Amino acid sequence: MDEKAPQKFTDLLTEKLSAKLPGKLAERAERGPVVAVVKLHGVITPTPSPMSRPTISLQTVESALTRAFGHDRLKAVALSINSPGGAPTQSALVADRIRGLAEEKQVPVLAFCEDVAASGGYWLACAGDEVYAHQTSLVGSVGVVSASFGLTGLLEKLGVERRVHTAGENKVRLDPFRPEKDDDVQWLRGLQDELHEQFRDWVRKRRGGKLTGSDDDLFSGEVWTGTKAAELGLVDGLGTLRDVVRKKFPDAHLVTVEPRKALLARLGMASSVRFGRGGADSVLSAVEALEHRAMWNRFGL
């Protein structure tokens, strides 16, 4: 009897299992360490995109993060980030979840800036223990912005009377159908300054002594190429995800974990369903789509 027969049988069985078993069973049959890649692509917002485009929120990425950090033989988690920013709270919630899982599993997190990691997108990048960018990536925009529309006089032209009743003199601030008030603008600026300071604190905490630029430059809201971001200490180096991971973990294979899409989005029906609900929803969806598009357009994308 061939002494190597049992090993040959084992190897053959493993090969068959890897080819036929679905999902995690197939992954476990594979050999070698794993680097899990999580895609964080889209505008950061608690509401779904009106055009079924990918968005980032704790709700949409929770399952992907849990699966990524739950891999067997996990060596590291790589974040593939492509986001112009968005809601500060969702940015912080997702980043906090990443750090919590990293500390629980005791694995390093590498963040990679793709086309753009700006504003909230850079907040997410700072959740990485190391941050990398391509030399052409757009990185930074450590600031806070609020945007709205002034529709004063529109309803009158349409022959519509708007009625708003409140208890509390400050219940309705910055109403787009009313003239802008200096007190409301000052109040908004106070909120922005507070959020901006929290953003600065987060960057300082995560980047520490790696930052080489002045506060006036780093936290001005400016955006830089990956090359300049590396000079300022906003990123640790230049390189693509595959190249950096290959050098750091030469024996590991990449496993991509993407956030699960809602059923209607998977069927390509989300936009048609939402737009079919009525004229008001159609207008709101169109405005939201323009706002999302404008966020990308700020960076020429």
pLDDT greater at residue 169 or residue 59: 59
DSSP string, 42-94: SEE-SS--TT---EE-HHHHHHHHHHHHT-TTEEEEEEEEEE--B-HHHHHHH
Rounded to whole angstroms, how far apart are CA atoms 254 and 34? 6
Rounded to whole angstroms, how far apart are CA atoms 127 and 266? 29
Examine the pLDDT at 12 and tell me if it is beyond 90: no
Q: How open is the CA angle 55-288-125, to the nearest 5 degrees?
A: 30
**pLDDT score of 264:** 46
Rounded to whole angstroms, how far apart are CA atoms 78 and 131? 10
How many C-beta atoms surround the C-beta of residue 262 within 10 A? Answer: 12
Question: Hey, what domains does the chain have and what are their CATH numbers?
Answer: 30-143+208-297 (3.90.226.10)
**pLDDT score of 92:** 97
- Pairing mode of beta strands 253-257, 34-41: parallel
Mean pLDDT, rounded, of the chain: 79
Examine the pLDDT at 48 and tell me if it is beyond 80: no
Long-range contacts of 199-205 (CB under 8 A, 24+ apart): 199/88, 199/123, 199/142, 199/143, 199/144, 200/142, 202/92, 202/95, 202/123, 202/126, 203/122, 203/126, 203/142
Examine the pLDDT at 139 and tell me if it is beyond 70: yes
Rounded to whole angstroms, how far apart are CA atoms 71 and 78? 13
Closest CA to 37 of 249, 258, 260, 256: 256
261-291 tens-digit pLDDT: 654 444 554 444 344 444 444 444 555 555 5
For the ranges 78-92, 123-137, 138-152, 206-220, which has the lowest average pLDDT?
A: 138-152
Residues 6+ apart with CB under 8 A from 228: none
Rounded to whole angstroms, how far apart are CA atoms 128 and 150? 39
Radius of gyration of the chain (CA): 24
Encoding tokens for residue 189?
């600026």
244-260 tens-digit pLDDT: 999 999 999 999 998 76
Rounded to whole angstroms, how far apart are CA atoms 40 and 65? 10
Task: Give the DSSP letter of residue 110.
Answer: E
Rounded to whole angstroms, how far apart are CA atoms 125 and 109? 10
Rounded to whole angstroms, how far apart are CA atoms 111 and 114? 10
Q: What is the largest distance, in Å, between two alpha-carbon atoms of the chain?
A: 95
Rounded to whole angstroms, how far apart are CA atoms 167 and 257? 48
